[in-house]
């Protein structure tokens, strides 16, 4: 399935574009240039064009910093799609840092690599907290893995521990984000075709990537939901549940084309938390 000619053209353009910007970003990071935070967004936007991703955005990413974006995870393509919309860094598992080529790209985008073993939880939390305390935007996949693109897996509350830790320093805003792969060449994707784009389970990366890039133009719907605060939810588990409900509703709406019931807004734990949340939405 797919066109070999299209595959080769996309691979060629992608490699030329990527290899031409990698040394630019590396030099900028070595010299501590501020534009290294926004160059990846420029890079990913053109990658979307090269790979045939047409992104339809609902809402908008907040410009407040620091911020933690909490998104569902369907595929490695999520990195390019979200990277084209948000000037920030991803939180990824340590294994990716050792991948050839893609690991280098992740490092150039200043990815925060975390080891999800229980004994390293405090260290990983402190690593993420330090980046947030520096006023950065981080993108988290709270499912802890990728899904089949038809549903959102439960969010792991432990991955929100940095948001809890930031309460004692400076409260941060959290923005749920839903991403859904909806149409191929204008035709709605069904459950049978979605695995061509969703990368999950034991699927090998190379053959999956080869199949995907030979297909046509893909529509991706990304919805940025209203901001919330840790203090509005009161606990990591409540924050994880609220973000999951928002993201799952957004994904279901994008796949079905029908609005979904919204989750109950979190109740502020104190008046000042409500004031900050209201200000975030203005």
Beta strands 137-140 and 89-93, pairing class: parallel
Question: 277 falls in which pLDDT band (50, 70, 90)?
Answer: very low
pLDDT in tens, 37-54: 999 999 999 999 999 999
Give CA separation, 220 vs 50, 101, 179, in Å.
15, 25, 7
Residue 130 to residue 234: CA distance in whole angstroms = 22
pLDDT in tens, 84-126: 999 999 999 888 999 889 999 999 999 999 876 655 667 788 8
The gap from C-alpha 112 to its chain's centroid, in whole angstroms, comes to 13
Instruction: Give the range among 16-20, 145-149, 173-177 with minimum mean pLDDT.
Output: 145-149
**Among 67-76, 120-129, 197-206, the range of highest mean pLDDT:** 67-76
Rounded average pLDDT over 201-230: 92
Burial grade of 211 (CB within 10 A; 0-12, 13-18, 19 or more): middle
pLDDT of residue 126: 86
Contact 233, 266 (CB under 8 A): yes
| Residue that is written with structure tokens 């999520």 in the block | 78
Q: Is 218 helix (H, G, I), strand (E, B) or coil?
A: strand
- pLDDT > 60? residue 170: yes
Angle at alpha carbon of residue 142, lines to 53 and 69, rounded to 5°: 65
Residue 200 to residue 271: CA distance in whole angstroms = 42
Rounded average pLDDT over 56-73: 96
Mean pLDDT, the chain, whole residue set: 88
More confident residue, 69 or 282: 69
- pLDDT > 60? residue 273: no
Question: 224 falls in which pLDDT band (50, 70, 90)?
Answer: very high
Residue 59 to residue 147: CA distance in whole angstroms = 23
Question: 271 falls in which pLDDT band (50, 70, 90)?
Answer: very low
Residue 93 to residue 237: CA distance in whole angstroms = 21
pLDDT in tens, 138-162: 999 999 888 888 899 999 998 899 9
The token pair that represents 173 in the structure block: 């805003």
pLDDT of residue 267: 61
Instruction: Give the range among 32-46, 219-233, 259-273 with minimum mean pLDDT.
Output: 259-273
Domains contained in the chain, CATH given:
4-280 (3.40.1130)
Angle at alpha carbon of residue 244, lines to 240 and 247, rounded to 5°: 140
CB contact set of 220 (below 8 Å; sequence gap of 6+) = 53, 54, 55, 56, 77, 81, 179, 180, 181, 182
Residue 261 to residue 40: CA distance in whole angstroms = 35
The gap from C-alpha 10 to its chain's centroid, in whole angstroms, comes to 23
């Amino acid at each position: 399935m797919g066109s070999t000619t299209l595959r080769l053209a996309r691979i060629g353009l992608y490699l030329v574009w990527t290899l031409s910007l990698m040394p630019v970003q590396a030099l900028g990071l070595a010299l501590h240039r501020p534009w290294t935070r926004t160059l990846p967004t420029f890079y990913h936007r053109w990658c979307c064009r090269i790979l045939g991703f047409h992104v339809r955005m609902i809402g908008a990413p907040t410009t407040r910093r620091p911020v933690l974006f909490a998104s569902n995870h369907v595929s490695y393509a999520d990195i390019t799609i979200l990277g084209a919309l948000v000037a920030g860094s991803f939180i990824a598992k340590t294994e990716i840092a050792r991948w050839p080529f893609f690991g280098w790209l992740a490092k150039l985008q200043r990815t925060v690599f975390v080891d999800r073993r229980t004994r390293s939880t405090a260290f990983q939390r402190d690593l993420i907290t330090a980046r947030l305390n520096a006023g950065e935007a981080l993108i988290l996949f709270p499912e802890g893995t990728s899904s089949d693109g038809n549903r959102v897996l439960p969010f792991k509350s432990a991955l929100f521990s940095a948001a809890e830790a930031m309460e004692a320093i400076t409260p941060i805003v959290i923005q749920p984000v839903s991403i859904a792969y909806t149409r191929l060449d204008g035709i709605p994707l069904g459950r049978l075709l979605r695995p061509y784009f969703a990368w999950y389970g034991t699927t090998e990366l190379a053959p999956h990537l080869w199949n995907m890039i030979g297909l046509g133009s893909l529509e991706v719907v990304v919805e940025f939901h209203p901001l919330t605060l840790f203090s509005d939810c009161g606990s990591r588990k409540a924050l994880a549940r609220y973000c999951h409900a928002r993201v799952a509703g957004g994904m279901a709406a994008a796949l079905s084309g029908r609005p979904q019931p919204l989750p109950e807004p979190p109740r502020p734990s104190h008046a000042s938390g409500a004031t900050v949340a209201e200000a975030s939405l203005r």
